[in-house]
């Protein structure tokens, strides 16, 4: 996502279930996919950076995955009554029936556990927000509007009346179809509509934001995993890193290949500095040691790839510039299983058709019919936030003389829901709780401003 954000991430259950539960998908008639287009349509005569290729593969208005797959984002007709289910086996059977009935590909956690998932987020906001000013919430990639409605429902029932009456909730959504769906969902409660607004735009475009000096909240549920990443490559242990670009193969109209260039892109450079990827080359020591390393690298070359969350860095820079007093709640994958693509923080690239998922061996296989999603390095996310807030200097992990401008915490989803949610509401008769037991590779990230604003 440059942020052509988002939709809801269409994989929460199915890929999490690779660790804890059998994969659950629709076994009934499937929604036919639009014909795949050659991914070379994304790449013109000139090479493009990997992040631009990923952005187009996911968000191109005509061929992008989310543009073509928006109808597959599922909406439950009613809340799942977990108390009526005996246990895990009954839950999985019930879920399978739901998929068959709705003939869609994916349900997200906020949908599967509605309204309780959104209520947990709302409670976290209520406990932390400065209620002396009107509550203002932005959600990036609001999906079908289930989270927005759940949070507004909770505020209406549990917050002081003045808080609900004066609150505003803005969804920043790239998809016109989903923007329309969000309005329909929120409109189920008439009093919500006057407080709710959808802005159909790219969240990473700074021109779309004004400047909000008052405290506000930003919610990003499964947004970070679909943000475009860049890729860098080194052929051995001592060679400098190079940017990876995507180009058409000269002898083929439908095949793509990679092109390696010296590091020049500013976003890539910033990410590398924050990761300190050049540390080993900066501290290689004496010429004798360096010569030995060069010989070793030639005898036993060890190519390496590293995926950089440049889209996330770009989004954080925009948000901190536009909303300097924002508080942030983000939820995403902390790691992904069964990744076939090489490199640190490498993505899963997966196509779903006829109820079955197929994982690809290369991101270049994405032709508008494949989701591309990444694990989130939450430690790096925290460093990027400190950098974008103006506190952390990327070089050598130095900080400014002022105190930190952000207080951050990372919690497993189960811990977050136990603290802020109502976990008894998603518990089955025998004690099995899919919200707490199945989502082991997801975390919540909370960040709030401190008083160190200078």
H, E, C per residue of 340-405: CCCCECCCEEEEEECCEEEECCCHHHCCCCCEEECCCCHHHHHHHHHHHCCCECCHHHCECCCCCC
CA dist list (Å): 415 to 198, 244, 421, 445 = 31, 38, 9, 12
| Greater model confidence, 281 or 421 | 421
Distance of CA 177 to the CA centre of its chain: 20
Residues 396-402 have a mean pLDDT of 59
How far is the C-alpha of 361 from the C-alpha of 350, rounded, in Å?
A: 9
Residues 162-185 have a mean pLDDT of 93
**412 sits in which H/E element:** strand 406-412
Contact 144, 178 (CB under 8 A): yes
- In this structure, the dihedral spanned by the alpha carbons of residues 121, 127, 130 and 131, taken in order and rounded to 10 degrees, is 90
pLDDT value of residue 218: 98
Contact 373, 347 (CB under 8 A): yes
Number of Cβ within a 10 Å radius of residue 231: 29
Dihedral sign computed on CA atoms, order 347, 351, 356, 362: negative
Q: What percent of the chain has pLDDT over 70?
A: 79
How far is the C-alpha of 123 from the C-alpha of 421, rounded, in Å?
A: 7
Residue that has been written with the tokens 């509401």 in this structure: 425
Residues 118-144 have a mean pLDDT of 95
**52 sits in which H/E element:** helix 50-59
- Under the banding of pLDDT at 50, 70 and 90, the label for residue 22 is very low
Which 8-state DSSP code applies to residue 452?
Answer: -
Strand ranges in 55-135 using DSSP code E only, listed in sequence order: none
Residues 429-447 have a mean pLDDT of 95
Write down the mean pLDDT value for the chain: 84
Q: Any long-range contacts for 197-200 (C-beta under 8 Å, 24+ apart)?
A: 197/168, 197/169, 197/170, 197/171, 198/142, 198/170, 198/171, 198/173, 199/170, 199/171, 199/172, 199/173, 200/173, 200/174, 200/175, 200/176
- Order of strands, sheet of 371-373, starting from the edge strand that comes earlier in the sequence: 356-359, 348-353, 371-373
Dihedral sign computed on CA atoms, order 93, 97, 98, 99: positive
CA dist list (Å): 412 to 336, 373, 440 = 15, 19, 7
Buried b (16+ CB within 10 A) or exposed e, 373-383: bbbbbbebbbb
Q: For 187-243, what is each residue's pLDDT tens digit?
A: 999 999 999 999 999 999 999 998 888 999 999 999 999 999 999 999 987 889 999
Residues 351-371 have a mean pLDDT of 83
Whether residue 313 is predicted with pLDDT greater than 50 in this model: the reply is yes
How far is the C-alpha of 451 from the C-alpha of 454, rounded, in Å?
A: 9
38: exposed, middle or buried (Cβ count in 10 Å: 0-12, 13-18, 19+)? middle
* Tokens found for residue 65: 């995955």
Number of Cβ within a 10 Å radius of residue 249: 11
Residue that has been written with the tokens 């070793």 in this structure: 296
pLDDT value of residue 35: 40
Strand ranges in 64-222 using DSSP code E only, listed in sequence order: 136-140, 168-173, 196-200, 216-221
| Greater model confidence, 46 or 137 | 137
Q: If you compute the radius of gyration of the chain from its CA atoms, what whole number of angstroms results?
A: 23
48-49/242-248 β-pairing: antiparallel
pLDDT value of residue 252: 65
Number of Cβ within a 10 Å radius of residue 33: 17
Residues 42-61 have a mean pLDDT of 88
- Under the banding of pLDDT at 50, 70 and 90, the label for residue 377 is very high
User: What contacts 157, CB < 8 A, 6 or more positions away?
Assistant: none
pLDDT value of residue 10: 36
**DSSP string of 221-240, one letter each residue:** ES-GGGS--EEEEESSSSSP
């Amino acid at each position: 996502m440059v942020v052509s954000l988002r939709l809801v991430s269409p994989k929460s259950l199915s890929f999490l279930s690779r660790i804890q539960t059998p994969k659950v998908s629709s076994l009934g008639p499937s929604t036919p996919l639009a014909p795949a287009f050659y991914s070379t349509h994304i790449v013109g005569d000139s090479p493009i950076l990997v992040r631009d290729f990923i952005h187009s593969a996911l968000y191109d208005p005509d061929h992008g995955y989310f543009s073509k797959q928006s109808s597959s984002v599922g909406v439950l007709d009613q809340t799942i009554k977990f108390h009526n289910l005996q246990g895990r086996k009954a839950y999985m059977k019930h879920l399978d029936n739901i998929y068959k009935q709705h003939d869609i590909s994916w349900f997200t956690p906020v949908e599967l556990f509605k309204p309780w998932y959104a209520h947990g987020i709302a409670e976290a906001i209520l406990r932390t927000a400065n209620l002396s000013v009107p509550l203002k919430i932005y959600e990036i990639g609001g999906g079908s509007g289930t989270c927005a409605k759940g949070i507004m429902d909770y505020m209406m029932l549990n917050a002081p009346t003045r808080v609900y009456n004066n609150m505003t909730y803005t969804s920043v959504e790239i998809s016109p179809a989903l923007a329309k769906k969000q309005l329909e969902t929120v409109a189920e409660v008439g009093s919500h509509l006057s407080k709710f607004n959808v802005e159909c735009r790219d969240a990473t475009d700074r021109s779309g934001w004004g400047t909000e000096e008052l405290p506000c909240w930003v919610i990003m549920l499964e947004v970070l995993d679909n943000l475009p990443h860049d890729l860098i490559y080194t052929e051995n242990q001592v060679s400098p890193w190079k940017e990876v670009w995507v180009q058409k193969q000269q002898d083929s109209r439908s095949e793509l290949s990679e092109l390696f260039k010296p590091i020049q892109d500013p976003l890539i450079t910033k990410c590398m500095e924050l990761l300190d990827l050049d540390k080993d080359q900066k501290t290689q020591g004496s010429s004798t040691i360096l010569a030995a390393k060069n010989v070793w690298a030639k005898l036993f070359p060890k190519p390496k790839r590293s995926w950089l969350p440049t889209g996330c860095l770009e989004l954080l820079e925009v948000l901190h510039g536009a909303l300097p007093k924002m508080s942030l709640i983000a939820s995403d994958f902390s790691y992904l299983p069964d990744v076939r693509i090489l490199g640190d923080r490498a993505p899963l690239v997966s196509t779903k058709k006829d109820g079955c998922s197929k994982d690809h061996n290369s991101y270049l296989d994405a032709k508008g019919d494949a989701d591309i999603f990444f694990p989130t390095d939450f430690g790096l996310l925290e460093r990027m936030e400190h950098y974008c807030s103006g506190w952390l200097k990327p070089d050598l992990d130095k900080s400014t003389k002022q105190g930190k401008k952000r207080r951050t915490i990372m919690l497993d989803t189960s811990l977050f829901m136990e603290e802020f949610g109502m976990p008894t509401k998603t518990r089955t008769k025998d004690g099995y709780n899919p919200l707490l037991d199945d989502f082991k590779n997801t975390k919540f990230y909370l960040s709030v401003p401190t008083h160190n604003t200078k």
